[in-house]
Structure 1
Amino acid sequence: MRNIILLFSLSILLFYANTSGATLQPDADTQVRLKKFEQFVASQMAREKIPGLSIGYLQGQVMWAGGYGYADLENKVPATATSSYRLASVTKPMTAAAILQLVDSGKVALDAEVQSYVPYFPKKPYPVTVRQLLGHLAGVNAYVNPQLEQHFKEHKNTRESIAVFENFDLIAEPGTRFRYTSYGYNLLGAVIEGASGMSYSDYMTKNVWEPLGMTTTRLDDPYDIIPERVRGYQLQNQQIKHAEFIDISSRFSAGGTRSNIVDMLKFGEGIIRGHIASQGAQDLMFESMVTDKRKFTNYSAGWLTNPVNGRFSISHDGVQPETSTYLFCFPSHHLTIAVAANLQRVNTSLFAEQLFEAITGEAWDKPLYFHDAQDRVYYDAMKAVFNEGNAYFERKQRAYLDEVNEREMLGAAFSMFNHHLKIVALKSDTKQRQLFISEAQHPAGGLQLRKLGSYMAKKLHDAHHKLPAYSNSTAIAFFHDYIALYKKDSTISASFRFDALFERQVAQLYADWIKTSHIKLTKHDFDIQKYLKPGTPTTVSDKELSKALAILGQTMEPALQGAAVAPDYLDDLKMLTQDLIRNGNASHALQIGVLAKELYPKSDAALALAGVLEIFTGNKSKGINSLKTALNLNPQGKASAAGLNDAAYELKGTSGPEAGLTILQAGIELHPDDVNLYDSLGEFYVALAMNKKAIYAYQRALDIKPDYPNAKAVKKIIQELAAGKN
């Protein structure tokens, strides 16, 4: 990994281009932010031990793309913007675009049964339609035998790929349940072939890839000579190893392509601009599908459709052996971001999020801490309204309801929201409090959040408020400014206003937010990151680092004390603890954990972080107490069995299985009947060659639940350990 970091400055091979032929670079301010982003890339690649990564964006006439680290670690081949990665499931939106193109040309009907185009696919108890396949609503199963189906070594054609799953039973009646499945998209690849009379590869090349200038995109083939093909890797016991050889032809139209980020960007731009299919097809890609119960699935025809901090976006990720990819499109920003890494199971979205912030200056998200749980409930409602409503207005440039012609329905949306807020104020049934938000975003719930929020966004837009600014100032400011607007504008009907109690609550939260929102981790020229060098031991003295951490506390604590709302920097603090532990500074990591607990005393995540670090550094009793307090605050949070299991694996990754073992043991003390904790405990004991203890842990898991998901594998492990135990 040290070699990767040393190469970093040499392998940032940037690519600037645009379709008009001119070469445009980002503006000066953006270039400054991009330099800082590149520092983040270096640090994060070291943290995740990523050999090579390529990332870039296309916005308007500017394309910026670069490669970092190695495309081939053994031969020291740098990763570049044109390195060729497996795209994995980023193939799916391409397949969906081709299907919708065929719908436009009249060769495919969305509601036709799949057998109209793939006659050899067996009939099921219910009809399976093309539309349902596009939205993962067809009831088609995913992998039934992953050990076999995810590890094919032989090349398969379309018919052989369909044969893998064609006799599987449907898992649900089509339309009733969302089930993400690559097999459904393999069927769509067969539909393309049946409807067009061409092979999937030929159709995509002629009708999708070449028209968009995607000259390097193709089906992957392990035997072909593919220019700039990256070598794929995996982590085994935190060591970089070659990825398992798998021929992915069996996933041809669901995850069988290979390309570079430049082509990925061109595809995203083509979708945004409608260069591949009609406006109607674009609408199908931009809007989530619904179940027969009229619930959004947050998946359209080929894309994830979750709003991002009030912004309209579509995206898709991809993970398979050798690769991790992500493609984000922000149509209203005319912005596409693509990232690919040659290490499987990498959090590629984190790189895309940081790049988005560097490009736009807008926060991807703005985590907030609330001292009072009731304020958190208020905010969750506000954020849901902002997310749904602002994203809709951004996409359509209009409110969902017209205040003149649909006045009664709009008034009903405000009335329902006000009723919900009264329930919150009364602190009545928790389930009832949550029901409004969980239901009101769906068509079944009347799309109340969309109606409400898009009207607010329109009014603010018409009053010359800059809607993108709310990504930084949060939903609190969105509501505050709307309330201030209608108090000055008598033309806004009383039906479209909030009750007085909520207005006062918003005013108080806004006042506190103004006081605390400027607080950052970088204050008085202090930046903890400068004390840490990714991948190398720190050379800073304990005294110097302790002083720096003291400054951090002295800066943040007075500003946050007594505030109802404040920026939540817990993720940043946690990342610092991980870096410190990697650099052999566990005591200073604990110092940050204690600071987190002091800054955010009502945060279960902060208390759990402190508890884990207290246990890790040898103070088990104090750590258990911190975890118990966290558990009381949120039984499903970071001190839950699942949360502590995750913490154990994180520590195992930074400090080895012995460190993680202490957290599992504490977790079992708090959750004595959790099967998964005992299963993980057995795995950690095996890693430490403590076979007798591993057998005990695995057997305890079986005693608690004999048929738990991993039981069959565990029984085999116990037999193998018993045969060689000492």
Structure 2
Amino acid sequence: MLTFSANSSAATLPADTDRKIRLKKFEHFVVTQMARDNIPGLSIGYLQDKLMWTRGYGYADLENKIPATARSSYRLASVTKPMTAAAILQLVDSGKVSLDAEVQIYVPYFPKKPYPVTVRQLLGHLAGINAYVNPQLEQHFKDHKSTRESIAVFENFDLIAEPGTRFRYTSYGYNLLGAVIEGASGMSYGDYMTKNVWSPLGMTATRMDDPYDIIPGRVRGYQLQNQLQGQQIKHAEFIDVSSRFSAGGTRSNVIDMLKFGDGINRGRIASAEAQDLMFESMATNKGRLTNYSAGWLTNPVNGRFSISHDGVQPETSTYLFSFPERHLTIAVAANLQRVDTSIFAEQLFEAVTGETWDMPLYIHDAQKRVYYDAMKAVFNEGNAYFERKQAAYLDELNESKILGEAFSLFNQHLKSAALKNDAKQAQLFMSEAQHPAGGLQLRKVGSYMAKKLHDAHPQLSTYSNRGAIAFFHDYIALYKKDSSIATAFRFDEAFEQQVGQLNAAWKKTSHIKLLKQDFDMQKYIPVAGARRVASEAGLVKALATLHQKMKHAYEGAIVAPDYLADLKVLSQDLIRSGNAGHALKIGQLAQEIYPSSDGAHALAGALEISAGDKDKGVAALKTAVSLNPQGEASAVGLNNAAYRLRGTSGPEAGLKILQAAIELYPDEANLYDSQGEFYAALAMNQEALIAYQKVLDIRPGDQNAKTAIQKMQAMSKLTSGINYQH
């Protein structure tokens, strides 16, 4: 396990004492989480109004023990995309680019496709442009590429769909936008960005990445390689990212990332109309939102309006979150590839605001769960919209009839679901009602509720800590006192009763907060290789206390906080430290506390299989699937679990999960592909070849399997008698 140093920027801490205390706790969290994830170096910070707070942790260079600072220079990866989008919209403002023009107007050398490809579609990943077709080649370029050479990589790929019909996240589409910038401006992409985006915002450290340039503060990039004894830090593979120039070919520090987010929030780069395009999700031509705007992810965060973008590529992992109405931007960058940096941003948000990032609840009763899920969806969509616009969705239209119809539809579907005991009907309605094709009913209802609550008590941010139940309860209480809220904008009596029951139950359990330290057993879990005799008794006692606290908190509770994510982290910590037996008890505790949670049964199942009881583990996984076929015991969920276990305990442990997953999903090619990779890591080449052959049996054109077989045969020259397909 690594040890870490922390390096501060010159920024002044906030005067607010509570925030200072929370930031101190946050810094402890960062060091703990970096050790957990084996992150060599990380930089993070926030900018709110004129106050900037930044920190660096760990090492920018492990070999030479150079500390990471706020000025350490990281590859931005896909955080480049919102910068490219901002430049495009700037050119739209100046009349040099038309959003609905075909791309060939600005990039004449790009081949015509069966359908027109427009600039707007490229901005929203709706142009039908494919992603990597041959990742083994396209993600590993070593040579420096010009714009023309970068476009040539994919210019002859077929479209995967008619533009406008399907969202497909792709860096190639954003490379094409970089070429549009060059064609429209007459400047190179890097020169245009420096002159018109980066310099105006004071982003003096942001530049195109070039492996041969001398770049102040450049960090070394690392990866985790899976060894038989677990994961080890190694240098990242050398990749020249010039082929991803306008999609992920830049380098910067968190200070500049914060300046960029703040510049977007304040409209300093483009017009109000352009800002709307960055803040509003695009939709397919059939009216389904993609939750991606012109360059940003637009998912609401617990009823808050937010835009964000992450970035992952060799050497780096980055995240940029922005909360425009709060004038708050959070940026994080790590010099380890493929690590989830969002958790650091989420924890910093809580430290800065004092608000809960999210509030997952556990509700055992299936019908009440349907009611709560509907409430949460309306709260998320409606409150976030009101926060952004400071108005209800239908205010400008003054369409009370349409609003009344939205409330009526909500009441009808919830009532029908209750009478027929059919949760799927309500879930389908809620899923469709968030899209333009479904009338944006959630936005209509929720934003009206938010407006009325704001008018009565302008403290909407409190609902981030109180949640959707309080949001609905307070609105119902408001209209029972306020006769000006028409009957058409109210809920039926049965729904009101359900809200009342949930609110009363939540009041009883919401104050029983299990704190982070209840799950933090670090003082009882020693570093790898240390003697643990002295800590064993303390660990047993701490786990027993946790079990007792949770059992007491959940006994007879209708609704209670959901701490499953914390239990997962604790189980992983225990496995890493050689306490697999205690980890299994955590899985069993999760099953006991959350009997209707697919995630709890999936966790227990994986831990049972790891402990050697395959039958009991598979039974738990089947229960999880019955509760949620698309959940954590799905083929994708189990594949991810296998990789997590491989990281903590090595490929043999991960193989146990994969073998159980294949028993449940015998026709899932990706499971066999992972199995082949795990076998290869154990030098079990014969078994690996069989697994990859199974991939080809299911998916004959799979390039990864073909390449893997060819490499293994070339290296080992095995002749097993199996007729391998090429």
Q: 1:545 aligns to what?
A: 539
CA distance in 2, matches of 1:416, 1:534: 56
Secondary structure of the corresponding residue to residue 370 of structure 2:
helix
Tell me the alpha carbon deviations over residues 246-285 of structure 1, each in whole angstroms, 9 at most, x when there is no partner: 1111211111111100000000000100111111111111
CA distance in 1, matches of 2:519, 2:597: 25
- The 8 Å contact of residues 13 and 53 in structure 2, kept in 1 or not, is answered as no
Q: 2:209 aligns to what?
A: 220
Q: How much has 1:683 moved relative to structure 2? A: 2.9
| Aligned pairs for 1:107-256 within 5 A | 107-237=96-226, 238-256=231-249
CA distance in 2, matches of 1:270, 1:212: 6
Secondary structure of the corresponding residue to residue 160 of structure 2:
coil
Tell me the alpha carbon deviations over residues 496-531 of structure 1, each in whole angstroms, 9 at most, x when there is no partner: 110111111111111111111123333998853443
Structure 2 residue 251 is matched with structure 1 residue 258: yes
- The 8 Å contact of residues 113 and 129 in structure 1, kept in 2 or not, is answered as yes
Tell me the alpha carbon deviations over residues 543-572 of structure 1, each in whole angstroms, 9 at most, x when there is no partner: 321121111121121221121211110110
Q: How much has 1:594 moved relative to structure 2? A: 1.6
Change (3 A) 1:516 1:655: same
Q: 1:46 aligns with which of 35, 38, 51?
A: 35
CA distance in 2, matches of 1:104, 1:516: 52
Q: 1:326 aligns with which of 309, 319, 324?
A: 319
Change (3 A) 1:311 1:239: same
- The 8 Å contact of residues 287 and 435 in structure 2, kept in 1 or not, is answered as yes
Q: How much has 1:429 moved relative to structure 2? A: 5.1
Q: How much has 1:672 moved relative to structure 2? A: 4.2
Change (3 A) 1:340 1:465: same
Q: 1:105 aligns to what?
A: 94
CA distance in 2, matches of 1:581, 1:254: 38
- The 8 Å contact of residues 372 and 564 in structure 1, kept in 2 or not, is answered as yes
| Aligned pairs for 1:301-700 within 5 A | 301-402=294-395, 405-427=398-420, 431-464=424-457, 466-522=459-515, 528-532=521-525, 537=530, 540-700=534-694
More divergent stretch after superposition (423-432 vs 577-586): 423-432
Q: How much has 1:37 moved relative to structure 2? A: 1.1
The amino acid across from 1:32 in the alignment is I
CA distance in 1, matches of 2:306, 2:581: 42
CA distance in 2, matches of 1:524, 1:44: 14
CA distance in 2, matches of 1:535, 1:495: 63
Secondary structure of the corresponding residue to residue 258 of structure 1:
strand
- The 8 Å contact of residues 304 and 387 in structure 2, kept in 1 or not, is answered as yes
More divergent stretch after superposition (164-173 vs 427-436): 427-436
CA distance in 1, matches of 2:396, 2:534: 62
Change (3 A) 1:212 1:434: same
CA distance in 2, matches of 1:429, 1:87: 46
CA distance in 2, matches of 1:591, 1:376: 27
- The 8 Å contact of residues 420 and 436 in structure 1, kept in 2 or not, is answered as yes
Tell me the alpha carbon deviations over residues 145-204 of structure 1, each in whole angstroms, 9 at most, x when there is no partner: 222222221112222222222222222222222222222212221222222222211111
Change (3 A) 1:629 1:525: closer
Change (3 A) 1:693 1:146: closer
Change (3 A) 1:300 1:668: closer
Give structure 1 regions of 4+ aligned residues with deviation exceeding 6 angstroms: 523-526
Q: How much has 1:141 moved relative to structure 2? A: 1.9
CA distance in 2, matches of 1:290, 1:495: 29
| Aligned pairs for 1:57-72 within 5 A | 57-72=46-61
Change (3 A) 1:708 1:167: closer
Q: How much has 1:67 moved relative to structure 2? A: 0.8
Q: How much has 1:634 moved relative to structure 2? A: 2.4
CA distance in 1, matches of 2:195, 2:223: 34
Change (3 A) 1:349 1:192: same
More divergent stretch after superposition (697-706 vs 59-68): 697-706
More divergent stretch after superposition (315-324 vs 138-147): 138-147
CA distance in 1, matches of 2:555, 2:549: 11
Q: How much has 1:356 moved relative to structure 2? A: 0.7
Q: 1:13 aligns with which of 8, 14, 24?
A: 8
TM-score (norm 1): 0.94
CA distance in 2, matches of 1:577, 1:371: 23
- The 8 Å contact of residues 15 and 81 in structure 1, kept in 2 or not, is answered as no
Change (3 A) 1:423 1:708: farther
Change (3 A) 1:535 1:431: same
CA distance in 1, matches of 2:283, 2:519: 49
Structure 1 unmatched ranges of 5 or more: 17-22
Change (3 A) 1:127 1:705: closer
Secondary structure of the corresponding residue to residue 528 of structure 1:
coil
Change (3 A) 1:228 1:121: same
The amino acid across from 1:123 in the alignment is K
Structure 2 unmatched ranges of 5 or more: 721-726
CA distance in 2, matches of 1:43, 1:583: 14
Change (3 A) 1:534 1:401: farther
Q: How much has 1:725 moved relative to structure 2? A: 8.2
CA distance in 2, matches of 1:196, 1:646: 44
More divergent stretch after superposition (532-541 vs 233-242): 532-541
Q: How much has 1:674 moved relative to structure 2? A: 3.9
Change (3 A) 1:622 1:193: closer
- The 8 Å contact of residues 518 and 546 in structure 2, kept in 1 or not, is answered as no
- The 8 Å contact of residues 519 and 556 in structure 1, kept in 2 or not, is answered as no
Q: How much has 1:377 moved relative to structure 2? A: 1.7
Number of positions where the alignment pairs a residue of Structure 1 with one of Structure 2: 715
CA distance in 2, matches of 1:576, 1:82: 33
The amino acid across from 1:653 in the alignment is G
More divergent stretch after superposition (183-192 vs 357-366): 183-192
CA distance in 2, matches of 1:205, 1:462: 44
Q: How much has 1:678 moved relative to structure 2? A: 3.5
Q: How much has 1:26 moved relative to structure 2? A: 5.2
Change (3 A) 1:481 1:277: same
Q: How much has 1:71 moved relative to structure 2? A: 0.7
TM-score (norm 2): 0.94
CA distance in 2, matches of 1:191, 1:627: 49
More divergent stretch after superposition (169-178 vs 259-268): 169-178
The amino acid across from 1:268 in the alignment is G
Tell me the alpha carbon deviations over residues 286-339 of structure 1, each in whole angstroms, 9 at most, x when there is no partner: 111122112211111111111111100111111111111111110011000001
Change (3 A) 1:288 1:372: same
The amino acid across from 2:140 in the alignment is H
Tell me the alpha carbon deviations over residues 16-42 of structure 1, each in whole angstroms, 9 at most, x when there is no partner: 1xxxxxx56352211211111111111
CA distance in 1, matches of 2:109, 2:519: 66
CA distance in 1, matches of 2:536, 2:246: 55
The amino acid across from 1:361 in the alignment is G
The amino acid across from 1:448 in the alignment is Q
Percent of matched pairs sharing the same residue: 76
CA distance in 2, matches of 1:13, 1:619: 49
Secondary structure of the corresponding residue to residue 386 of structure 1:
helix
Secondary structure of the corresponding residue to residue 253 of structure 1:
helix
Q: How much has 1:662 moved relative to structure 2? A: 2.5
CA distance in 1, matches of 2:649, 2:33: 17
